[in-house]
Structure 1
Amino acid sequence: MKVGPGSAIAMPAPGFRGLKQVANLAQLYWSAGAPHSFAQYTTRTMRINTKPPQDNSSDTNGSESWGFFDKVYCISLAERSDRREQAKRQFAAVGLLARLEFVIVAKHPENNEKGIFESHMLCLQKGLAAGGRHILIFEDDVFFRNFDPSALQATLGRLAKIDKWDGFFLGCITEGSRKTATKSLVKIRYRCLAHAYAVNVSFAGRLIRQQWNGIPFDELLRRQHADFFAIYPMVAFQGLCGSDNQTVIIELLRNFFGGLPFIQRVNEWYQNHKTLFLAVHLTTLVALGVLTCKLWE
């Protein structure tokens, strides 16, 4: 579903597979509340804050909040030094730069999706080889909004007490979400985007046994039907720098739907407020029904 580190939901070439990708992206938007009134509401209230997070580079609490993760990597294409510089500023602002290692990779000469797959597998292999138990991986166009070190620390404290968890996301698109005993931690049904996630040692070992067979990495994650959790609200978004996505129709479609950060935010709001969303629309339908009956009297 992706064409370069940091891009997502992309197709390698036109055709049936490409049309299916377009349909999937449209479905994401509509499942997140495409009716006009809801779209207007989210446009007004869910714009992603464009201001960078408060700089926590000299804040010990900022860096200590990441202590749960023993290996931290960020995937970056060799030729995208511009992304690395912007990513460094993002990581410094949340107190993570000193602990992070950039994994520099060459762009795959033939298949960008395969290149992304191999890049994520490389990070997992490096983490396991280094004895990592909780491996955190980013893509280099990640950016952070509304980051709170104390909230992250509380969230990870709760995650550590859960008997079985496979992955933890700082940002992604989901197919479902439900609350846990801690407000800032939700259990999710993962759908796509792999720009900011962590896995534990057992799940990492399970993933690296997978061979490339044409399935994009985030789709591979989705098919695991694993025990995935996420911070709520999400704090990591994708798309700070220019995209490596060379598929024009996908890029245009993304932008038409407000861009990946907007789509992620709308998706998160919808998945965590389905009852309210359905109640509002049911009330609207009932009101329209009553009004119609009155007009026919």
Structure 2
Amino acid sequence: MIKVNWSFVDKIVYINLAKRTDRRESIEFQLKKMAVPPEKIIRFEAIERDEGALGCVMSHVAVLTMAKENNWQNVLILEDDMIFNDDEESHDRINYFFSSLTSIDWDAGFLSGSYFNIEQQHGCFYKISCSYLSNSYIVNQHYYDEIIDVFGVSIEKMNEGVSRYKCSLDIFWHHMMWRDNWFAIYPCVGYQLVDMSDIEGYTTDRVSYFSRTIDEM
């Protein structure tokens, strides 16, 4: 089995609500399965709000602030419903992706997501300008302030009563993708667990979102 070389990633932070011990078990199993060095892993206790999407973006901002304050070179943010593929090809794609980032100016990148607009650079390394779902993305150190500011506007809008469908973090980051250097692994190397969503209030099955063909995007 091909092993992922995690040396490129400074820290991996997974976001997990205190009450979701089932999700904590799941993501910790995933990280162990992927042979992530334990010293790189940090659990962030998710911020809970009545509006789950608000707590979500607040949690992401808190993690990015933590990364900034600790001067991490980069941070891979995972939500606790991330499931990594088990196949060698996916592991190889992760290594290829990390290696590609070392030789290019980059701001952020996806290991998986609900992609809609991607452009191949080489191999499985793609430029991306539209993607939803924030279950696995990496942010470069110089970009922390930029993304914190944009997510901050998302928080402000939700606090003003704007619908989360118009101002969630994975809506607000699109203009950054068009403008800046965001990249993605394609095909995705993971997907979102089929499970009860604390944001939606029901069981969500978005597995197909992570396996769209180019023609379906």
CA shift in 2, pair 1:246/1:193, >3 Å: closer
Q: Residues of 1 paired with 2:114 and 2:79: CA distance?
A: 15
Moved over 4 A (4+): none
Residue in structure 1 matching 2:172, options 195, 220, 237: 220
Following superposition, the deviation at residue 124 of structure 1 comes to: 0.4
Q: Residues of 2 paired with 1:207 and 1:245: CA distance?
A: 22
Structure 1 equivalent of residue 51 of structure 2:
111
Q: Residues of 1 paired with 2:20 and 2:208: CA distance?
A: 24
Offset from partner CA, 1:165-187 (integer Å, 9 cap, x none): 21110111122111113x12111
Consecutive unaligned residues of structure 2, counting only runs of 5 or more, are: 158-166
Corresponding position: 1:73 with 2:2 = no
Residue in structure 2 matching 1:236, options 190, 199, 204: 190
Q: Residues of 1 paired with 2:200 and 2:171: CA distance?
A: 20
Following superposition, the deviation at residue 241 of structure 1 comes to: 3.6
Specify the SS of the correspondent of 1:234: coil
Consecutive unaligned residues of structure 1, counting only runs of 5 or more, are: 1-53, 278-297
Identity within the alignment, %: 23
Structure showing the higher strand proportion among its residues: 2
Structure 1 equivalent of residue 210 of structure 2:
264
Structure 1 equivalent of residue 93 of structure 2:
151
Residue in structure 2 matching 1:170, options 111, 114, 126: 111
1:35-184 → structure 2 map (5 Å cutoff): 61-62=3-4, 65-96=5-36, 98=38, 99-108=40-49, 110-145=50-85, 146=87, 148-162=90-104, 164-181=105-122, 183-184=123-124
CA contact (8 A) 1:88 1:97 kept: no
Following superposition, the deviation at residue 263 of structure 1 comes to: 2.2
Q: Residues of 2 paired with 1:205 and 1:113: CA distance?
A: 21
Specify the SS of the correspondent of 1:171: coil
Structure 2 equivalent of residue 41 of structure 1:
none
Q: Residues of 2 paired with 1:150 and 1:246: CA distance?
A: 34
Q: Which amino acid in the other structure matches residue 217 of structure 1? A: L
Following superposition, the deviation at residue 101 of structure 1 comes to: 0.7
RMSD across aligned positions (CA)? 2.1
Specify the SS of the correspondent of 1:95: coil
Q: Residues of 2 paired with 1:70 and 1:161: CA distance?
A: 17
Structure 1 equivalent of residue 160 of structure 2:
none
Following superposition, the deviation at residue 231 of structure 1 comes to: 1.2
Count of paired positions: 199
Offset from partner CA, 1:128-170 (integer Å, 9 cap, x none): 11111211000001101135444322221112111x3211101
Structure 2 equivalent of residue 201 of structure 1:
141
Q: Which amino acid in the other structure matches residue 156 of structure 2? A: N
CA contact (8 A) 1:190 1:228 kept: no
Q: Which amino acid in the other structure matches residue 231 of structure 1? A: I
Following superposition, the deviation at residue 97 of structure 1 comes to: 5.6
Following superposition, the deviation at residue 243 of structure 1 comes to: 2.0
**TM-score (ref. length: structure 2):** 0.83
**TM-score (ref. length: structure 1):** 0.62
Following superposition, the deviation at residue 232 of structure 1 comes to: 2.1
CA contact (8 A) 1:83 1:241 kept: no
Q: Which amino acid in the other structure matches residue 104 of structure 1? A: E
Specify the SS of the correspondent of 1:91: helix
Q: Which amino acid in the other structure matches residue 260 of structure 1? A: R
CA shift in 2, pair 1:94/1:207, >3 Å: same
CA contact (8 A) 1:142 1:240 kept: no
